[in-house]
């Protein structure tokens, strides 16, 4: 069963090296926070940190991807496993002041807590391919694919059927930060956006993995064959034994 979308919030800014997403709320179990960032400047600067202020106890996100298109356009993705529940701000810091910055934070429940994401995919263009398109080939049917794009265009739209926009932030007359999601294998795990008439953009995408599903052997289970043995880790069940509840 795929991770479940819980909540989101966005922010835009510019002329600084930081951006804050205010009052972002996290709840539920098997939690995951995912933040996408897009920015542009005379010399594109990478994201140095994404931190959630959990009531005075800062929680640092892990980088999934961080990419520039070689000139002005930058995209990054960041995640935090099991963030503290409650409503706290997210502070994004870049290596230098940016002309424009946009960010989208989404929270998820029922996400895997030890292997939360798959292998990130990134791409970019400078006066090249017009529409940002990424394929996340390792996404399974129960994964959720999430992307972040930063595009030199004031009008973009998620293009693939089943692709849901989580953010479409027009930061200025010229640039937009987009974030979208779709269930794995719905459309071949392709994340595509229309726009970028100039062919200038940077993008990344990755699969969010679902929480591990246990297989439960209950008291009503029957082992009928005389020689049957069920073994997992240190647990071995023999015919005639009292069968406890075991989650594999």
Low-confidence ranges of the chain (pLDDT < 50): 215-224, 227-243, 246-248
The answer to whether 80 and 1 are in contact (CB under 8 A) is no
Q: For position 56, what pLDDT does the model report?
A: 77
Q: For position 154, what pLDDT does the model report?
A: 85
Q: For position 129, what pLDDT does the model report?
A: 81
The answer to whether 220 and 186 are in contact (CB under 8 A) is no
Q: For position 130, what pLDDT does the model report?
A: 84
Q: For position 195, what pLDDT does the model report?
A: 77
Show Cβ contacts of residue 84 under 8 Å, excluding neighbours closer than 6 positions.
26, 52, 54, 55, 57, 59
End-to-end CA distance of the chain: 16
Q: For position 213, what pLDDT does the model report?
A: 73
Give residue-wise pLDDT tens across range 33-73.
Answer: 999 999 997 666 899 999 999 777 899 999 999 999 887 89
d(CA 112, CA 110): 7
Buried-exposed string 50-70: b where 16+ CB fall within 10 A, e elsewhere:
bbbebeeeebebebbbbbbbe
Among 206, 212, 211, 1, which residue's Cα sits nearest to residue 106? 206
Q: For position 105, what pLDDT does the model report?
A: 98
Among 190, 141, 146, 186, which residue's Cα sits nearest to residue 165? 146
Q: For position 246, what pLDDT does the model report?
A: 47
Q: For position 242, what pLDDT does the model report?
A: 47
Buried-exposed string 191-227: b where 16+ CB fall within 10 A, e elsewhere:
bbbebbeebbbbbbbbbbbbbeeeeebeeeeeeeeee
What phi and psi values does residue 44 have, to the nearest 5 degrees? -55, 130
3-state secondary structure of 157: strand
DSSP letter for each residue of 79-118: EEESPPSEEEEEEEEEEEEESEEEEEEEEEESB-SSS-B-
The answer to whether 10 and 37 are in contact (CB under 8 A) is no
What's the pTM?
0.84
């Amino acid at each position: 069963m795929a991770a479940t979308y819980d909540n989101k919030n966005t922010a835009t800014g510019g002329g600084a090296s930081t951006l804050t997403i205010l009052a972002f709320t996290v709840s539920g179990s098997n939690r995951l926070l995912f933040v996408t960032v897009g920015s542009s400047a005379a010399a594109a600067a990478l994201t140095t940190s994404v931190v959630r202020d959990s009531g005075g106890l800062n929680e640092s996100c892990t980088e999934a991807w961080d990419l520039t298109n070689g000139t002005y356009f930058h995209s990054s993705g960041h995640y935090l496993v099991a963030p503290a529940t409650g409503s706290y701000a997210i502070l994004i810091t870049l290596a230098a002041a940016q002309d424009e910055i946009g960010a989208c934070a989404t929270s998820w429940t029922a996400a895997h807590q030890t292997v939360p994401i798959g292998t990130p995919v990134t791409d970019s263009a400078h006066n090249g391919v017009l529409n940002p398109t990424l394929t996340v080939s390792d996404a399974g049917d129960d994964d959720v694919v999430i992307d972040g794009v930063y595009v030199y265009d004031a009008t973009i739209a998620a293009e693939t059927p089943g692709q849901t926009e989580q953010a479409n932030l027009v930061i200025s007359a010229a640039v937009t930060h987009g974030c979208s999601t779709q269930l794995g294998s719905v459309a071949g795990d392709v994340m595509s956006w229309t726009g970028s008439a100039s062919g200038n953009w940077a993008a990344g995408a990755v699969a969010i993995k679902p929480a591990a599903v246990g297989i439960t052997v209950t008291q009503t289970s029957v082992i009928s064959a005389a020689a049957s043995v069920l073994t997992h880790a240190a647990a071995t069940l023999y015919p005639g034994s009292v069968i406890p509840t075991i989650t594999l």
